[in-house]
Structure 1
Amino acid sequence: MKTVLCYGDSLTWGYDASNAGRHALEDRWPTLLQKALGVGVNVIAEGLNGRTTAYDDHLADCDRNGARVLPTVLHSHAPLDLIIFMLGSNDMKPIIHGTAFGAVKGIERLVRLVRRHDWPVETEEGPDILVVSPPPLCETANGAFAAMFAGGVEQSAMLASLYRDLADEVDCGFFDAGSVARTTPLDGVHLDAENTRAIGRGVEPVVRMMLGL
């Protein structure tokens, strides 16, 4: 049995911008990935609304710093064969960091945490890592989200090329979720059901190759 950890934010959790609720389980991209890979693979969805790559959100009522929480999550789900990181959208908030450069440095921090982790299983060699750039933000008439992510449309458009370069540098896999999915103009950040399903279908061949299936 292979185990895949999907470590992400609200795009992995399944936030539904149409009603501020949550997409049905069958519509979330980790579920689509699980279905495509079959019973020989266990796909774990570890999504948290507002999670950043490696930065504090002092307005949150939970710990959204992905770097601080990651070691605990790794211990909880070990042993792992593959970790998928799809984070960075929340780093686009000016109150968090506001730049694509900051998100790239955060992803780099996460990769290093995995590579240096003290695994609870002595034979654990450490999992492969797939870096996924989230779909870029888009313009929205939602005033609250437009203000929250001011400047994010331009900055998030840089994520795919920067993440690809980082993945090459640190020897990770890469997938551009923006190649198969688009954010909804309802809030400019999240995905409708069809677009979150599209990520699960789109990433499956890359995951299959990295797992040697």
Structure 2
Amino acid sequence: MTKNILCFGDSNTWGLNPITGKRFDENTRWTSLLAKNLGCDFTVIEAGQPNRTLVHNPPFDGVLSGVSYLKPYLERYDIDFIIIALGTNDLKKRFNLTPILIADGLNDLISSIHTYYQQSSTLQAPKIIISSPPEVRVTEQYSRIYKDADIKAKDLSDEFKRVTANNKCTYIDFNTFINMTGGDGIHFDNNQHLVISLKMAHLVKDFFTDC
């Protein structure tokens, strides 16, 4: 039986090209590459959305927080695995959030997933992978929007790791294989998308092999 994997994230999951500002094609963005790497036994649902947050909705952009928009995916699909890749947008200056408060938003999102499946007598809860966003590099392009985000990002991985462990989810730290030294300091380039897809495919395959 085909297993469904929901990739729920922000513009880096959507595949925003830091050079053009447009979307990488299906041969470049990590979610599409993940589907190709996993093969026909898996269906990858690409649910990336630029500006998506864990805590507050961005001004003027409507309802984009993770908690608000995850439920329709859970209702529509029989999900075996959820990959959550959020947190970078919450580092924006206008939200004025600490790493702990951002991690609390992640905890709320995970709790909402658990609650949704606990209320169902027929659905089995999916396994959850939490990815810690990589440490950002504040460039001139984003100097006002992400002021001091590089400082906060250093503690964000530890907070995400704590929340992941408390909720018995699987954790993957992008900082162990992604370095934001080039580009705009926020969005992944094509090579980083490739690396992420390979790491995610390896993690998913290992999990289902162990099961």
TM normalised by structure 1 equals: 0.91
Counterpart of 2:70? 70
What RMSD in Å do the two structures reach over aligned CA positions?
1.8
The total of aligned residue pairs comes to 209
Whole-angstrom CA distance in 2 between matches of 1:43 and 1:97? 34
Aligned residue identity for 2:9: G
Cα shift at 1:115: 0.3
Whole-angstrom CA distance in 2 between matches of 1:47 and 1:137? 19
Where do 4+ consecutive residues of structure 1 move more than 6 Å? none
Gaps of 5+ in 2: none
**Matched position secondary structure for 1:46:** strand
Whole-angstrom CA distance in 2 between matches of 1:188 and 1:14? 15
Deviates further, 28-37 or 117-126 = 117-126
| 1:101-180 alignment runs, 5 A limit | 101-117=100-116, 122-142=121-141, 145-180=142-177
2:192 to 170, 195, 203: 195
Deviations 1:79-121 (A, max 9, x none): 1111010000000012124322122111111100110105897
Query: Are the aligned partners of 1:182 and 1:191 in contact in 2 as well (CA < 8 Å)?
Result: no
**Matched position secondary structure for 1:174:** strand
Cα shift at 1:17: 1.1
Query: Are the aligned partners of 2:91 and 2:149 in contact in 1 as well (CA < 8 Å)?
Result: yes
Cα shift at 1:180: 1.8
Cα shift at 1:137: 0.5
Counterpart of 1:91? 90
Query: Are the aligned partners of 2:138 and 2:149 in contact in 1 as well (CA < 8 Å)?
Result: no
Gaps of 5+ in 1: none
Cα shift at 1:194: 0.7
Query: Are the aligned partners of 2:138 and 2:147 in contact in 1 as well (CA < 8 Å)?
Result: no
Counterpart of 2:204? 207
Query: Are the aligned partners of 2:138 and 2:146 in contact in 1 as well (CA < 8 Å)?
Result: no
Summarize the Cα distance change of 1:148–1:117 in structure 2 as closer, same or farther, 3 Å threshold.
same
Whole-angstrom CA distance in 2 between matches of 1:45 and 1:59? 24
Deviations 1:176-210 (A, max 9, x none): 11222233544221111111221111122222233
Counterpart of 1:35? 36
**Matched position secondary structure for 1:22:** coil
Cα shift at 1:123: 2.2
Query: Are the aligned partners of 2:137 and 2:181 in contact in 1 as well (CA < 8 Å)?
Result: yes
**Matched position secondary structure for 2:144:** helix
